[in-house]
Copies of this chain bind each other. A is one copy, B any other.
Amino acid sequence: MAFKTVIGSIADHFRPKMDAVGVTHNGPLTADDAFIERSVNQPQPRENEILVQVLASSVNPVDVKMRSGYQDKGVFRIFGLDVVGRVAAVGKDVSRFAVGDRVYYAGKQHHDGADAAYQVIPAEMAAKAPENLDDVSAAAMPLTTITAYDILVHGFHLPIAKDAGKGKSVLIINGAGGVGSILIQLAKYLGLTVIATAGRADSQEWVKKMGADHVVDYHRGLVRQIADLGYPEVDYIANLQDTTGYWDLMVKTIRPYGEIASIVDTTMPVDLGELKSKSASFSWIFMLARGNFNVYLSEQGQILEDMATLFDEGILHSTVTKVYHGLTAYSIRSAFQDVAGHRAIGKVVVDFAPNIKASEGGMPLEDGSDKESTFSDGPDNIQEKDGQAEKTGKSELNDEDAPTHY
C-alpha cells in the first residue's frame, strides 16, 4: 500500500499539469475565496474519449446550484458544463474527431468540469462547433440548445423542422434567460406563435429581438394578459422559471391535450390531478440526466451536430451577452454571480484566450506543484456583447424582484 502510494506520487510528479478554477469549501459566492485557482493533473482520454483544450466556457443556473450543493470539504471541485474547445488528443477508438478539430458540447454533471485548461469527455457527446460562431458565441450555446431541443422534441413531441408547429402556440415562462433565448428562436423556426414572459424593459426588448411574437409582464396578471392577446389557452407551455409558483397559471392556460415541459424543480408538491380533466401532459426536461445515468449520450452529439447547421445557416443566433476574459478565480466567480443574481439576459461566457496565449499555443501555463490564488484578475477585463449586457461587474445577488429560475 505504502509502496503503491510512493509509486503514485512519483508518477503524479511526471504527469502534465494544468490550470483550473474550482472550490474546496462551500462559502458564499460574495467571498473573495469563493473560487480558487490551482494547478492540477491534466486528464488523459480513455479509448472512447477526447481530450479538449478549453477555449471558452459558459455558466448556467445549474452550475450555481451545483456549487451551492458542494459538500466535499477540502476536495477540489471544478465546475463548468458548457464548452468550446480544440481537440488535443483522441482515445484509440475515436474516429469522429481528429486533433485540432474545434468542438462544442455540454458535459457531465458528476465529472470534472470545464473551468480548466483541458477536459476529457466521451467523444459521442461532442460535435464540431458551428463554423460561423466565434469561440465565445459558440461556448454560450451547447447546454441551453440541447435543453431547448429536448423541450420541443421530448416535451412537446415536435420535430425540429421548419414550420413543424405552424398554427400552434407556446407560452415560454422566462423568455430572457439562457434556455428561453434559444428556445424562442427554435420555436419560431418551427412556426409556433411564441408568447414569452419578461419583467424588465431590457428583458422585454431582448425576447422580442430573439423573435417572440408577444411579451407579457410577469409583474401583472398573466392569465388576463395572455387571454387579451387572443390566447386564453395555449398548446404548449415551457416553464423555465418556477414550476410551483406558475402551477395555477399553467393549469388554467394549457389547452386540452396540451403539453407542459419544465426545467425547474418543484419547491412543494403540486396538485398534478388538476391537469387530469384536460388530459394534459407534463414532462421534466433535464438534459444532464443523460450523463448522470449514462444513457443516450450520443443524442447530445447528434443534436449539437444538427443545430450547428442551423447556426451556420443563420437561422439560430448565439445568445451570449457578456464575456469575461481569462480563466481566473475572478472571472469564474463574476460569471457565477451574474447568473446567480437571476437578472442575466442570455448567456455569460468566460473566454480562456488570455491563458491560452500566455502558454504559447494552448499548453498549460505551469506544470509545477499546486498553486492557489484568488482574484488574480480585476474587473477591467469585462466585455459586453451586442450592448445587451448589464453595465456592471459587481454582484447582483440581492435582486428580490425576480423569482428563482434554477
* Copies of this protein in the complex: 2
* Chain B residue contacts of A157, Cβ below 8 A: 157
A273 touches B279 (CB 8 A): no
Q: Considering residues A283, A285, A290, which has the most beta carbons from chain B within 10 angstroms of its beta carbon?
A: A283
* Chain B residue contacts of A287, Cβ below 8 A: 279
* Chain B residue contacts of A272, Cβ below 8 A: 243, 266, 269-270, 272, 282
A266 touches B277 (CB 8 A): no
A276 touches B284 (CB 8 A): yes
A277 touches B257 (CB 8 A): no
Question: How many angstroms from the CA of A164 to the CA of B29 in the assembled complex?
Answer: 50
A266 touches B257 (CB 8 A): no
A298 within 8 A of B: no
Tell whether A289 pairs with B278 under 8 Å between CB atoms, given A265-B273, A273-B266, A296-B257: yes
* Chain B residue contacts of A43, Cβ below 8 A: none
A256 within 8 A of B: yes
Smallest Cβ-Cβ distance to A288: which chain B residue: B279
A383 within 8 A of B: no
Binary flags per residue of A105-124, CB closer than 8 Å to B gives 1, else 0? 00000000000000000000
B278 touches A281 (CB 8 A): no
A154 within 8 A of B: yes
A276 touches B271 (CB 8 A): no
A280 within 8 A of B: yes
A295 within 8 A of B: yes
B281 touches A283 (CB 8 A): yes
List residues of chain A with CB under 8 Å of any chain B CB.
150, 154-155, 157, 243, 255-257, 265-266, 269-273, 275-287, 289-290, 292-293, 295-296
